[in-house]
Amino acid sequence: MESIIKRIEEEISALTPNVQEEETGIVRTAGDGIAEIDGLQNAIMTEMVLFDPSFDGSLEDAIKDADPIYGLVLNLEEDGVRAVILGDASRVYEGMRVRRLGRLLSIPVGDALVGRVVNALGEPVDGKGPIAGTKLMPIEHEAYGVMDRSPVNVPLHTGIKAIDAMIPIGRGQRELIIGDRGVGKTTIAIDTILNQKSEPEATRPICIYVAIGQKESKTAKIVASLEESGAMAYTIVVTAPASSPAAFQFLAPFAGATIGEHFMEQGKDALVIYDDLSKQAVAYRQMALLLRRPPGREAYPGDVFYLHSRLLERAAKLSKEKGGGSLTALPIIETQEGDISAYIPTNVISITDGQIFLLADLFNKGQRPAIDVGNSVSRVGSSAQTKAMKKVSGKIKLELAQFRELEAFMQFSSDLDAETKKRIDSGQRMTQVLNQSEGHPLPFEMEAAVIFAAVNGYLDSFDPSQTSSAEQRLQDFLMREAKDVLAQIKETKNIDGDVEASLRAALDKFAERVA
């Protein structure tokens, strides 16, 4: 019996000598951006395939076609595979030939991408022409192991006082930014990119902003803002707009991570912002349901946790033996009505090293950024702070948490004792000091000096409602008459000894002028 089957197979092979069954297949059905393909027995997960309408000539000729259609294998089944179509799905039809490309999905990476806007496949979409001088890297990459990493102990300054003082971020960390729509999540991310301009050029991280499922007008506005401020000189934008297929929204974060890893492996620092992973999860859910994967909680497939974990685990601070580079990840997650316990938020919280939780109520009260101190945390903590910031920020978080409780109590009582009123006034002043307008990140040394002044009572002579204007006057004074002190703080990264004495002298001078 076996010999008969073998002979039949040989006869079939002789009739079709130019078609290797393990390398080619035929589209069984195509629709909704998904193709079911018969054949391709040797295909592997995330391998690229080429939909070839003519099937004449060599594979190289087919790839050089004016507009080739690629696919990404995501389901391996007994009698074939299912692939996501990367491109115009309307051009893929039943009976179409499909070729294996023998390589995983890869994108171009390199220094030439800096200052450019690309799609999820690394193709330029900014109208500035092709990108030369790049190499290809697989879009999926196994995260570095524990022995290849070193502790996160170098700060990534965001320029936002509330974050750098209370929820510090280190290079190589994964810090989640979470909150409802329209409460300032993207603002924090963009201000962080803008603030890197104040960092020394030698240690300035390359920033990658990944826009997932956003309106193209919003992304264009962000790119224009970055160009206007000069931040595009060290920034790469990866965009998969809401109008793009779900496959591109699924792949865009991996493209951003791959580009960042290229710089990390060169011994440089990189920062990647995923805005936002909620939309990637929705795109993945759409693809998974079309791929006939079983739905689970909230109709997401069971491996949506693995999707985000294998993406975010790629953030790391490498050991000196591996070059000492770092990749910092700032994923953004959108909540509904502040529900931090929903499926995707809890998933990503459990993967990351802390979260910055923004509250709509605080945003509506005028607090910027609207950070909920009680639910925000950095699991790296003071390890990612300079000595200067550690010294000035020690008691802020506790003081603000106590103030929130007293503020709630104050609403029910008009008669307050002197001690309670003093605490409330102090908390209101500190809240005003930590308020910050959009697009104005502060250099680290200015943050440290301002917070030092606030915690040491140099702003107590002002009414709490006037604290913001007083702080602006203080910043102007320091920039005008205490530049040498700010330079000392920047150089030593500490407020101690002579530096502290010089800063106190400058603040005393300021207090005399405004008295």
Positions marked catalytic: 379
Closest CA to 353 of 386, 397, 384: 384
Residues 77 and 96: their CA atoms lie apart, in Å, by 19
Q: Please give the Cα distance from 97 to 26 (Å, whole number).
A: 5
Does an H or E element contain 30, and which? strand 24-31
Using CA atoms, how far apart are residues 492 and 501, in angstroms rounded to an integer?
A: 14
Q: Are strands 206-212 and 269-275 parallel, antiparallel or unpaired?
A: parallel
Query: Which stretches of 174-302 are DSSP H helices?
Result: 185-195, 216-229, 246-264, 277-290
8 Å CB contact between 219 and 239:
yes
Dihedral pair phi/psi, residue 398, rounded to 5° = -65, -45
Structure tokens belonging to residue 61: 């000729």
Residue 436's nearest CA partner among 451, 422, 426 is: 451
Pairing of strands 326-334, 176-179: parallel
**116 by DSSP, 3-state: which?**
coil
- Identify the CA nearest to 27 among candidates 74, 85, 101: 85
